């Protein structure tokens, strides 16, 4: 599996994104579990939207999820420099550097939105972060 992910990461980003758009179209069009779950969530979160507006939001959500998955595979498989070169704007960098200079330790708390692998590559420029996570309860996953 690792070899396959590494191989996929070597493909150009534009091609991977095109594959993600195609996958999203298939998942949206053929009543996949991701489509059904997203539809339930959108209906619960946005009951005031029309059916057409909800459908468009469902489609965009599935597309965004597919893009996120393929983009983090790309980041995982490429050297850290690849991820760092993707960063265009860093907000709060001076706050982070000032906190590091304080020598009392820094806790960076971030939601797992999007491709946090970019943040991980950036943090490693300045520190040796300890990444905390809760392991899966299912053995073998």
Q: Could you give the CA distance from residue 101 to residue 117 in angstroms, rounded to a whole number?
A: 24
Q: Which residues contact 73 (CB under 8 A, 6 or more apart)?
A: 5, 8, 9, 16
Q: Could you give the CA distance from residue 56 to residue 129 in angstroms, rounded to a whole number?
A: 39
Angle between helices 117-126 and 51-77 (to 10 degrees): 40
What pLDDT, on the 0 to 100 scale, is given for residue 115?
65
Contact 85, 78 (CB under 8 A): no
Contact 84, 122 (CB under 8 A): yes
What pLDDT, on the 0 to 100 scale, is given for residue 129?
86
What pLDDT, on the 0 to 100 scale, is given for residue 50?
97
What pLDDT, on the 0 to 100 scale, is given for residue 138?
76
Q: Could you give the CA distance from residue 63 to residue 22 in angstroms, rounded to a whole number?
A: 9
Q: Spell out the alpha helix ranges (H) of the chain.
A: 2-9, 13-29, 33-45, 51-77, 80-86, 93-101, 117-126
Contact 73, 9 (CB under 8 A): yes
Claim: this prediction has a pTM higher than 0.85: no
What pLDDT, on the 0 to 100 scale, is given for residue 15?
96
Q: What is the mean pLDDT of each run of 10 residues along the chain (141 residues)?
A: 87 96 96 95 97 97 94 88 89 92 88 74 89 74 54
């Amino acid at each position: 599996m690792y070899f396959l992910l590494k191989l996929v990461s070597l493909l150009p980003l534009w091609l991977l994104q095109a594959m993600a758009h195609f996958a999203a179209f298939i998942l949206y069009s053929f009543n996949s579990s991701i489509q059904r779950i997203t539809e339930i969530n959108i209906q619960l979160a946005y009951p005031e939207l029309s059916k057409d507006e909800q459908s468009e939001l469902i489609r965009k959500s599935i597309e965004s999820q597919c893009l996120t998955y393929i983009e983090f595979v790309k980041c995982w498989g490429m050297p850290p420099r690849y991820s760092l070169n993707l960063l265009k704007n860093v907000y709060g960098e001076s706050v982070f550097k000032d906190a590091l200079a304080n020598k009392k330790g820094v806790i960076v708390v971030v939601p797992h939105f999007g491709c946090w692998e970019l943040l991980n590559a950036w943090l490693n420029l300045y520190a040796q972060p300890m990444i905390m996570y809760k392991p899966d309860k299912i053995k073998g996953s």
